[in-house]
Amino acid sequence: MLSEKMRDALNTQINREIYSAYLYLSMSAYSTYIGLKGFANWFMVQYHEEMSHAMKLYDYVNDHGNHVRLMAIDEPPTVFESPLDMFEKTLAHEKKVTAYINELVDLAIEERDHATGIFLQWFVTEQIEEESNDNEIIARLKLIGDDGNGLLMLDKELATRAFVPPAAE
């Protein structure tokens, strides 16, 4: 069994991961709307990744005999200024998620909950990768600037991203 504090914090994180999924699904929808199918694919893969993060936490809470409590999901933004704006918002969001994961790790240490501490290490590593991916795409979008051909080339590349379920990584 998890402590009540730990259980509530993990339940809150499930909600945050589902909000992340919702945010990226909204970015995928907007990318499709403005004709950038590769960006739409990239954000759709990100949506699936976030749902898999939520489910990893969901299974962990369940596996400890605790109650998963689902909460209301906030409405994400639906309109964005540009592809760069979407990725800058993605990075800013991921930085927040990284801070939340670090808080969860701190709580696991406080509660002397070693199992949850080990479980959370996967998320710590995942956040490094997510921020690094976002930084790379932001740098490329800045280089592209107003060059439409450059943007279409990046769109083509982002179309190749495929979802790999965490268990198969």
Footprint of ligand FEO (CB under 6 A): 17, 20, 50, 53, 94, 97, 130
Q: How far apart are CA 154 and CA 123, in angstroms?
A: 28
- What span, in angstroms and rounded, lies between the C-alpha atoms of 128 and 145? 26
Helix (H), strand (E), coil (C) string for 57-92:
HHHHHHHCCCCCCCCCCCCCCCCCCCHHHHHHHHHH
Nearer to ligand FEO, 17 or 155 (CB): 17
Query: Residue 22 and residue 8: Cα distance in Å, rounded?
Result: 21
Minimum separation from the CB atom of position 42 to ligand FEO (A): 13
Please, which residue, 74 or 147, has the CB nearer to ligand FEO? 74
- Residue number with the shortest CB distance to ligand FEO? 53
Least Cβ distance, residue 109 to ligand FEO (angstroms): 21
For the CB of residue 137, give the shortest distance to ligand FEO in the complex, in Å: 14
Shortest distance (Å) from residue 138 CB to ligand FEO? 15
Contact 86, 30 (CB under 8 A): yes
User: Of 39 and 151, which has the nearer Cβ to ligand FEO?
Assistant: 39
